[in-house]
Amino acid sequence: MRSSREPIIIVALAAVFAAPAACGTQEPGGGASPPPPSSSIVPSTVPSVVPSPTGSPPSVAVPVPTTGGGTAEVSSRITYQWHWPNDADRPASVTHQYAVPPVPQLIRIGAGDHPRDPGERPYNRMTFTFTRAVPSYTVQFVDRLVADGSGAPISLRGNGVLQVTFRTAQAHTADGTRSSIRSRPSANLGMSRMVDYAAAGDYEGVVTYGIGIAWPVAHSNPQIAVRVYEVVRNDSQDGRQYVVAVDVDAR
């Protein structure tokens, strides 16, 4: 999907988060299915959500306006500014602490192209919306995507794979009988950098996705920059929601 051009980046951010995506219970991608989900997570004694990013320092939380449709954005911040995420001195890894159970559930995946936002480089975005809290996560390029547990390879279109791993989270219901994801885009993203994606695991509190990335020059080895946003919003039906937005430089 393509978001409309907005006058400020916060409004553009809100527009992408509010866009609907295709529904289903089967994960996209043609690779091997991950092992059956497990919700064996050791409870934490931390009483509240305390963000502690290990990447670049985040920006100060900024209140943003209501987006309509019963959803009000509460705050947003950058937790990882534009950079190559595989830099050992500046990895795209953010840690959060919060009391469990329950653990955050993934309920929505979104994707959008941002070719001409004012004051921004062109970028593609994928969003992951959770209940309860923002889980800890790591974003990095990997040689290939493999299924958690089995190690079976998962095929993705594109020249490279950007892997997004969430820890102390799940993508299934509490009873383990079905997916908790209510909406998501089709696997064929068809954007300039993000061309495909697939689930690689929902196992023992770890949720993994791979995004197929097209290189700007075929057969090259580029250090493509990414950026990560976190957004907190209130939804009239689902209550407080926590969004992790992964942006990929599309120049």
DSSP string, 131-155: SSSPPEEEEEEESSEE-TTT--EE-
Q: Per-residue confidence of the chain (251 residues) as pLDDT tens digits?
A: 444 444 433 334 344 444 433 333 344 554 444 444 443 333 433 333 444 444 444 443 433 333 445 788 999 999 999 999 999 999 999 999 999 999 999 999 999 999 999 999 999 999 999 999 999 999 999 999 999 989 999 999 999 999 999 999 999 999 999 999 999 999 999 999 999 999 999 999 999 999 999 998 877 889 999 999 999 999 888 789 999 999 999 99
The reported pLDDT for the residue numbered 33 is 43
The C-alpha atoms of residue 160 and residue 164 are separated, in whole angstroms, by 13
Do the beta carbons of residue 105 and residue 170 sit within 8 Å?
yes
The reported pLDDT for the residue numbered 236 is 80
CA dihedral 70, 95, 23, 151 (to 10 degrees): 180
With CA atoms as reference, report the closest residue to 103 among 50, 44, 53.
Answer: 44
Q: pLDDT for 96-105, tens place per residue?
A: 999 999 999 9
The C-alpha atoms of residue 1 and residue 178 are separated, in whole angstroms, by 27
The C-alpha atoms of residue 234 and residue 74 are separated, in whole angstroms, by 7
With CA atoms as reference, report the closest residue to 209 among 151, 158, 138, 134.
Answer: 138
With CA atoms as reference, report the closest residue to 205 among 77, 103, 52, 94.
Answer: 103
What are 19's two structure tokens? Answer: 């866009």
The reported pLDDT for the residue numbered 100 is 92
The C-alpha atoms of residue 21 and residue 15 are separated, in whole angstroms, by 13
The amino acid present at 163, given as its one-letter code, is Q
The C-alpha atoms of residue 221 and residue 6 are separated, in whole angstroms, by 33
pTM of the complete model = 0.74
The C-alpha atoms of residue 162 and residue 248 are separated, in whole angstroms, by 9
Do the beta carbons of residue 226 and residue 249 sit within 8 Å?
yes
Residue 149 exposure: Cα atoms within 13 Å on the Cβ side: 17
Give the three-class secondary structure for 221. Answer: coil
